[in-house]
Amino acid sequence: MNLNEETEASSEIIEASDDLNEVGSLLSEKEEKLIDEVIETVEKNPRITLWSARSAAVLRYLRKTEPEFSISSEASDLIDAAIAEKYPEIWTLFNHL
């Protein structure tokens, strides 16, 4: 990592921290406790399980037809984008993850 990349990464961490502090000041004590519990749980086990026959079929087809295709990586990217779009306010609470 060069100096520019380190500076950029540090800036992103500071921005995420500032965002969390700004949002945190608007949250109730109960909400902050809930967020802390969620973070603790996710840090121990970030996995989720989904059931969708059609999505599973598409992803397995892609794994068999595209070299180095990763079902997990693709599913993560798709789910992250969809959740960030549908729940942007909640998504920002967890920018630092």
How open is the CA angle 59-70-43, to the nearest 5 degrees?
A: 110
For residue 93, give the nearest of 33, 47, 46, 48 by alpha carbon. 33
Domain that holds residue 24: 3-93
Hey, which bits of 1-97 come out as E strands?
Answer: none
Note down pLDDT in tens along the chain; length 97 residues.
Answer: 555 555 565 555 555 555 555 555 688 999 999 999 999 999 999 999 999 999 999 999 999 999 999 999 999 999 999 999 999 999 999 998 9
The tokens describing 81, both together, are: 């984008």
Place of tokens 């059609």: 54
Q: What is the CA radius of gyration of the chain?
A: 17
Task: Give the number of domains in the chain.
Answer: 1
